[in-house]
């Protein structure tokens, strides 16, 4: 069953995109295949750019979905519809529940500090809880040093 983790950003917790990049980097370095689900094409391209620069000395092999299947990469970034690939970690960088979330081993939900974003996240949390998905919450008060 899919495990769902909520990363709740505090006022000094950084922004959603940087947090998504840090989580993607950590998952990639742990041997996972990652799908970053963005809200729009512009957001997907912003994540693509940020993955090159978010941390000095870091390299996260990635591509925007759909990517060339002959050149598999461990991190894909998409924004519309269900990906036709098999990553095991979904990082949701939207305020909506991706309808295809259950095919992933883990879902990472990033919640911004503003009240509207928290309200939408509580709705997603309730959805997952009512269906019995294992849940965890992580408060992020400050970005790691060097970010």
Q: What is the pLDDT of residues 31-82, one digit of tens each?
A: 999 999 999 999 999 999 999 988 888 789 999 998 887 788 999 999 988 8
Helix (H, G, I), strand (E, B) or coil at 136: strand
The model's pTM: 0.92
Where does the pLDDT of residue 12 fall: very low under 50, low under 70, confident under 90, or very high at 90 and above?
low
Find out whether 27 and 89 touch, Cβ atoms under 8 Å. yes
Which domains are present in the chain?
3-140 (3.40.50.10110)
CA distances from 114 to 39, 51, 58, 86, 132 (A): 17, 24, 29, 33, 27
């Amino acid at each position: 069953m899919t495990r769902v983790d909520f990363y709740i950003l505090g006022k000094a917790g950084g922004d959603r995109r940087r947090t998504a990049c840090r989580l993607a980097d950590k998952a990639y370095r742990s041997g996972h295949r990652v799908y970053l689900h963005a809200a729009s094409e512009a957001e997907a391209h912003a994540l693509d750019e940020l993955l090159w620069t978010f941390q000095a000395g870091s390299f996260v092999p990635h591509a925007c979905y759909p990517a060339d299947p002959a050149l598999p990469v461990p991190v894909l970034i998409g924004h519309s519809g269900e990906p036709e690939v098999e990553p095991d970690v979904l990082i949701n960088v939207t305020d909506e529940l991706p309808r295809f979330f259950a095919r992933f081993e883990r879902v990472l939900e990033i919640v911004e500090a503003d009240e509207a974003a928290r309200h939408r996240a509580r709705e997603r949390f309730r959805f997952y809880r009512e269906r019995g998905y294992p849940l965890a919450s992580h408060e992020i008060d400050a970005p790691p040093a060097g970010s």
